Structures are given as C-alpha cells and as structure tokens.
Amino acid sequence: MAWVAYTYSVWEAAAGCFREITVLCSLQPDGMLREPRRRARFPFRRFVRFVRLIVSSILPPGVTGLGRNCFEAARCPLSVVLPDTITRIDDRAFSGAKFVTHITLPEGLEEIGESAFSSCNCLRSLVVPQTVRRIEDSALEKCRNLTSITLPDELDHFGSHVFEGCSRLRSVRFPRGPTTVGEFTFGGCTALSSVTLPEGVTRTEECAFANCPALFSIVLPRSCLELGEYTFEGCTGLERVVGDPAFRAIVFDNGTDAVVPGDRETIVDGCPLMNKADFVSPHTPAAVAAAHRLEYWHPTLHKRCSEDRREWVRAVLLILTRRLHLPHVVAVVVVTLIKRAELGR
C-alpha cells in the first residue's frame, strides 16, 4: 500500500477495506497514510514501535461502524483504538488478525458481531464497554493468549462459542440479562478456574463448559434448572457443583430444535471425581463456601515457578489436599515455600 487519504465525509469503513494488510503504515502530517521507508538493517522491534497502525488515526470523526471482514487476516502488528463514534463492529471485522496486540473499544459501542475478534492470537486482555448490548456467536473464539476479559454488567444477548478455545482465560463474570449459557461458550478454556453466573440464568446448553480441566468447582444460580447434556464433559478436575438438585437434563432435537429430556449422567461425562448419580450439592452456605475454597487452584498460583516445575507443584498440592485432606491454609504455605525455593535457585 503506497498511501491512503480520507475525507471527513467518510462515515463507515467498508467491508474488507484493510483485509490481509501486510505492510505497516504511518500517518503523515499532511493527513495521508503512507508506507514507511525501508531501511537496510533496521531493527525489527524498533520498526514495530516506530510505525503502528492506529485505527483512530485512519477513521475520521463520524464513522459509526466497521464493515464485515474489515481487518480480517491482517498480518502486521496492530494497536487498535476505535473512534468514540463507532457503534457496531460487524462480523469477522478482525477475525484472523493474529498480530493485534491491543484493542480499545469506545464507550458508545453497542454491538460486537459474529467472530469479530476470533483467532486474534496476540490479544491478551479486553475491556468491553458498559454500552454494549449484544455479543454474537464466536466473538472471541480461539483467542489463545487472552487471559482476562471485562464484560458489561448487563447484556441483551450473549451468543454461543464466544470463548471457545481461549486456552489461557482464567476467570469470567457472566453478565446479567442472558438466560442461557450457549453451547461451547467456554469449551476448551483449559485454564478457566472461576466462573460467576448471576441469578436469572435458567439454562446451560450442551457442552457449555466442556473440556475445562482447571475448573474444580462451580456455583450455579438457584434459577438454573436445566442443564444440557455434556455440559461439563471432560472437566477432569471438577469436584463440586452447587445448585438445585431438582434440575433436569435437556437436549435439543436436531429436527425441530425443541428441548427434550436428556440423560443426567452425560452432564458430567469424563469427570472422574464426580458421582454421576447425584453430583449437585444443595444451595447451602456450607456448600458454597466449600466450592469457593477449591478456587485456589487458579493457574496464577504457579506462574512464578519455572515451566518445568509447575506440574510437580500441582502434583504436590493434589496429594496434600485430595489424598491427605489437609486444610487449605496448609496447601498455601507449601506453595509459598516452593515458590521461595524456586525463586532462590
């Protein structure tokens, strides 16, 4: 791309307008976006810091939306700051932009489209403004390095597969408003250890929390009376589910999309620590407290240990708490001593 100029009459970035962009650009004083000069032996890291594609510099005031596939598969480092006038991000706007490192979403944004940020592998954190009302299916699917997400307090719609494959996501506070946790919403979130579901959630669909081995406990709201088949499939560390024992298992009929009764035992299929016949503890203060005590298995507990020792630390904690049944405080002391020994090496 040699250069790009815009006028202040522009109101929307059209679909695919920067798709598969490969060359970093910088905004010149004359208002034109130009290709930077190529310099022999110019250090790549300094190059990245020197010229960053800032979306707020490209889009003039008044732009209200980003079209479909706008930055799809962009292959250059992007630091994205959207103008305050943006109200919607269409489907797949940044899908596959593997080098997006930071995205600032403006207050006033109302809708995030389907797969809008899917496969943004360098994205580590995201704050979704309180003004957002809809998050569509697969919005953040396979953002493999996403570790933290801040969602609005309330939403009108929260799609399925939203966090599927976010293997480093550690904790999520589900917003109020949606009544259903869609299928595979947290599927494959291997580091997920804490999920807070608000009152008002009435149903989890099939495989909503499938393959989350770091999820050791979960407290379902009293309003949640329907669990889809295979909701916790493959959650090998799941030890306690607190909710209403009177729930029913459900499954969707592929022909009519109607909800029909399912098999209760399939809900915890692949969860060796759970009793398939009776695995939901009643909603009592003691049961909730016991579930919260299991949350200390958060992966950040071991982040200061070297990579080759983390599994050993986990094994020690398993022996102390689940085999010897020692109190939580003892396990914390052991972890602290291990950290000190590790850092002192």
Measuring CA to CA, which residue among 247, 256, 200, 255 is closest to residue 228? Answer: 247
What is the 8-class DSSP label of residue 323? I
Can you give the residue ranges of every domain in the chain?
Answer: 304-343
Measuring CA to CA, which residue among 197, 190, 280 is closest to residue 236? Answer: 190
- pLDDT tens, N- to C-terminus, the chain (345 residues): 433 444 444 444 445 454 444 333 433 333 333 334 443 333 333 333 333 444 434 555 677 777 788 877 776 656 788 888 889 999 998 898 888 888 889 999 999 999 999 999 989 999 999 999 999 999 999 999 999 899 999 999 999 999 999 999 988 999 999 999 999 999 999 888 889 899 999 999 999 999 998 888 899 999 999 999 999 999 988 888 999 888 999 888 766 678 888 888 899 998 888 888 788 989 888 888 878 776 654 444 444 444 455 566 666 766 776 667 777 667 767 777 766 665 554
Measuring CA to CA, which residue among 318, 306, 296 is closest to residue 342? Answer: 306
Contact present, 53 and 30 (Cβ < 8 Å):
no
Class of residue 165 by CB neighbours under 10 A (exposed 0-12, middle 13-18, buried 19+): buried
Give phi and psi for 234, each to the nearest 5: 80, 10
Contact present, 174 and 152 (Cβ < 8 Å):
no
What CA–CA distance (Å, rounded) separates 26 from 36? 7
- Give the type of residue at 41: R
Q: Hey, how many other C-beta atoms are within 10 angstroms of the C-beta on 98?
A: 16
Q: What angle do CA 124, 128, 130 make, to 5 degrees?
A: 160
What CA–CA distance (Å, rounded) separates 116 from 94? 6
Structure tokens at 203: 């149903």
Q: For every residue of 144-197, which 3-state class applies, written as one string?
A: CCCCEEECCCECCEECCCCCCCCCCCCEEECCECCCEECCCCCCCCCCCCEEEC
What CA–CA distance (Å, rounded) separates 183 from 170? 19
Measuring CA to CA, which residue among 72, 94, 77, 76 is closest to residue 22? Answer: 76
- Give the type of residue at 189: C
Measuring CA to CA, which residue among 95, 102, 93 is closest to residue 119? Answer: 95
In sequence order, the β-bridge partners of residue 171 are 194
What CA–CA distance (Å, rounded) separates 114 from 227? 25
Structure tokens at 215: 């999820």
Contact present, 17 and 70 (Cβ < 8 Å):
yes
